[in-house]
Amino acid sequence: MFKRLLIATALILSGCHGSSDEAGSGGSSGGVVRFIVLGDSGAPPESGDVAKIVEKVCAQRGCDFAVGAGDNIYDQGADSPDDPIFQAAFEEPYKNLNFPFFMALGNHDNSNSPLGGGGTNERGDHEVAYTAKSSKWVMPARYYTQGWPRGSANPTVELFVLDSSPITHFFNDLNPAWNGANLQTYIAEQKTDMQAALSASKATWKFALAHHPYVSNGMHGDAGNYEGGASPDLCALAGLISPSCRGKDYKAFLEQTICDKVDVFFNGHDHELYWLKPVASCGKTQHMLSGAASKHRSIQDPARNEAYYQVGDTHGFFWVELRGNRFTGAAYRVGAGGIATDVDENGAPKPAFEMSYTK
């Protein structure tokens, strides 16, 4: 399995996606890296509204790439790599953004019903296969690593993209390839591969990307207690749910792989924007949840985890800049019709929140 991971990484590194060296035109300048964090983006036309402000922010501040934190195709993923939903949910909204999107799988991407139960993992494989059909969608495997700049032996950034749905699904997958011992083998291989990749990484900045969060103040909540405050509580559906529904095994998986080893864990699943402070059980790792790229909800429990910033009931996304050992994150809110909620004196989008830290 680790060999497959390395091959997937090599395919990305040799890719043909280009980037400009001019800040403000979509690329890096002087070793600076800038990118967009989107999650739960797969519901047009709202995804197009958010994309309009992403375009403006990238023109103003520069963007090298984007990361997509799952639920890329609502409500139940794609029927095949040729499904027209890829055009409606991805290609059309982001047609004016000429940089790669490094994508992770979410529960809706692996489902066969609008409930998003995460129990039909073969549907997620269609999103992997779509990589060969798109000039910007990048998902060469269900989990993979990505260095930036491409091909560098000492990259500024290394992204560790996890496949979280098989560890958190609330509907069991009836396909024997994704059930029982086969599922446990897949999860164990993913853990071993990611542990090895993180141990070998020479990147200045290490980031993890997955759909399901470790901590969240939204409806789905923290790993280990998913759906604990949700109404209805999907994990309480007698006879239907998987033992993984609460995310107890996923919590352990994260603590054994990325916790205290990556600088920031990016995710979605809850449809709000959170930049949450590190928690003792996950060490130094910061938690940035960006799940409002096409859907939004209210914050359920704002005091559950300490936050630098949190906002609900709005679409939006994060923009990140890396400059040496300095990390800057900015949250942008988006209103109906693709109108920036926060603007400067010239009417240009401005962050609702921006903060930097030095490691």
**C-alpha to C-alpha distance for 168 and 185, rounded to whole angstroms:** 15
Q: Which domain holds residue 184?
A: 2-10+26-358
**C-alpha to C-alpha distance for 117 and 227, rounded to whole angstroms:** 13
**C-alpha to C-alpha distance for 274 and 313, rounded to whole angstroms:** 12
Domain membership of residue 310 (yes or no) is yes
- Strand blocks (E) in the chain: 33-38, 65-68, 101-103, 137-138, 144-148, 157-161, 205-209, 264-267, 273-276, 286-290, 307-311, 315-323, 326-335, 339-340, 353-358
Both tokens of 310, joined, read 């949190």
| Cβ contact 87:44 at 8 Å | no
Domain membership of residue 218 (yes or no) is yes
**C-alpha to C-alpha distance for 64 and 54, rounded to whole angstroms:** 12
Whether pTM exceeds 0.95: no
pLDDT given for residue 27 in this prediction: 45
Domain membership of residue 15 (yes or no) is no
Place of tokens 């990361």: 67
**C-alpha to C-alpha distance for 161 and 18, rounded to whole angstroms:** 21
| Cβ contact 86:193 at 8 Å | no
**C-alpha to C-alpha distance for 274 and 287, rounded to whole angstroms:** 8
**C-alpha to C-alpha distance for 228 and 126, rounded to whole angstroms:** 31
Domain membership of residue 296 (yes or no) is yes
Query: Does residue 221 come out as left (phi exceeding 0), alpha (psi in the -120 to 50 range) or beta?
Result: left
Domain count, the chain: 1
**C-alpha to C-alpha distance for 313 and 318, rounded to whole angstroms:** 16
Domain harbouring 309, CATH code: 3.60.21.10
Helix 2-13 with 180-200: angle, nearest 10 deg: 50
Domain membership of residue 339 (yes or no) is yes
Domain membership of residue 192 (yes or no) is yes
pLDDT given for residue 167 in this prediction: 96
> Strand 273-276's sheet: what is its strand order?
144-148, 157-161, 205-209, 264-267, 286-290, 273-276, 307-311
| Cβ contact 88:52 at 8 Å | no
**C-alpha to C-alpha distance for 352 and 310, rounded to whole angstroms:** 10
Among the listed residues 174, 180, 48, the one whose alpha carbon sits nearest the alpha carbon of residue 111: 174
Domain membership of residue 18 (yes or no) is no
**C-alpha to C-alpha distance for 350 and 339, rounded to whole angstroms:** 12
**C-alpha to C-alpha distance for 36 and 95, rounded to whole angstroms:** 15
β-bridge partners, 311 = 273
Domain membership of residue 21 (yes or no) is no
Residue 21: is the preceding peptide bond cis (ω within 30°)?
A: no
What residue type is assigned to position 101 of the chain? F
First to last CA, the chain: 33
Would you say the C-alpha torsion 231, 236, 241, 247 has a positive or negative sign? positive
Q: What value does the CA radius of gyration of the chain take, rounded to a whole number of Å?
A: 19
Q: pLDDT tens across 44-90, in order?
A: 999 999 999 999 999 999 999 999 999 999 999 999 999 999 999 99
Segments in the chain below pLDDT 50: 1-4, 6-29
Element (H, E) at 187: helix 180-200
